Amino acid sequence: MYQAHPALRQPVTAADRVLQEIQRAIVDGDIAAGSKISEPELARRFDLSRAPLREALARLERCHLIERIPNAGARVVTLSTAGLLALYQLRENLEGLACKLAAEHMTDAEITEVRQLLDQHLSSQRVREGESYYQEAGDLDFHYRVILGSKNSYLINILCDELYYLVRMYRVQLGMNGPRVSRAFDEHKAIINAIANRDGELADLLMRRHIAASRRNIELQLEQMGT
């Protein structure tokens, strides 16, 4: 298997654990978007002191799930069309770059692994039709692999640590359980093929289109909710 990125490492400290719990809670909407974060309340709820909690809050701010104001506290971010657009504008560019670099730096073994992954996801998806979690996880896994394949630590950090939780939050809370499933699989296939052919330019282009399509999909959902 591939070496897990620090972002995926298992929690060793209390702050790590509570971070993961709160992260999941925010992404899944258990802690409502826009709601105020109360340190004393969360400390009681997770049964630890404020020190590790504040450490966790600092990292939540880092991945844009909360916004803090000095002496005034923190709030969960609110989702908006403008925010989604800004986020995906960036993603298109960064993941495009990641593809270009992956075409240069991924080993043949890594490429083979990703292909196996895709086949695996496809079959498990056929078996469990409709269960969107697997699509969600599978899609993320594909993107993770390509990003890691870029071998650029700064790029990896930004995409996997700082932007992806927010991306997931949009998808989960807007109920993106995927009519786009099979199309996405085909697009993934095309991207890994371009990378395998060491055609960075094409891989870049395909990834940008792939993400743009995904963005339009979510925008549509947002509009429907707005009206």
Count of residues near a copy of itself by CB under 8 A: 29
Q: Which of 101, 103, 114, 160 binds a copy of itself (CB under 8 A)?
A: 101
Rounded CA separation 223/72 (Å)? 33
- Our finding on whether 34 is near a copy of itself (CB under 8 A) is no
Q: Which residues of 99-126 are buried (b: 16+ CB within 10 A; e: fewer)?
A: bbbbbeebeeebbebbeebbeebbeebe
* Structural element, H or E, at residue 73: strand 73-76
How far is 137 from 110, CA to CA, in rounded Å?
19
Positions 70 through 129 that interact with DNA (CB under 7 A): 70-74
Residue 172 token pair: 């989960």
Residues 6+ apart with CB under 8 A from 76: 26, 31, 32, 33, 34, 35, 36, 37, 65, 66
- How far, in Å, CA of 190 to CA of 94, rounded? 18
Instruction: Supply the minimum distance, in Å, between the C-beta of residue 202 and a copy of itself.
Output: 17
Q: Which residue has the tokens 């959902």?
A: 221
Residue (70 or 179) nearer to a copy of itself, CB = 70
Six-digit token pair at 36? 């105020």
Stretch that binds a copy of itself, among 24-32, 47-55, 140-148, 175-183 (CB under 8 A): 47-55
Q: Least separation, in Å, of the C-beta of 23 and DNA?
A: 16
> Which listed option, DNA, a copy of itself, none, makes contact with residue 152 (CB within 5 to 8 Å by class)?
a copy of itself
Binding marks (x or -) toward DNA, 27..66, rule CB under 7 A? ----------xxxxx------xxxxx-xx-----------
Measured from the CB atom, the residue of 68 and 180 that comes closer to a copy of itself is 68
Burial (CB count within 10 angstroms: exposed 0-12, middle 13-18, buried 19+), residue 17:
middle
- Confirm or reject binding of residue 18 to a copy of itself (CB under 8 A): no
* Residue 68 near DNA by CB under 7 A: yes
User: Which of the residues 104 through 163 are near a copy of itself (CB under 8 A)?
Assistant: 152-155, 157-158, 162-163
Check binding of 179 to DNA (CB under 7 A): no
CB of 41: closest distance to DNA in angstroms?
7
Whether 181 contacts 227, CB under 8 Å? no
State the minimum distance, in angstroms, from the CB of residue 148 to DNA: 25
Give the residues lining the site for DNA (CB under 7 A): 13-15, 37-41, 48-52, 54-55, 68, 70-74
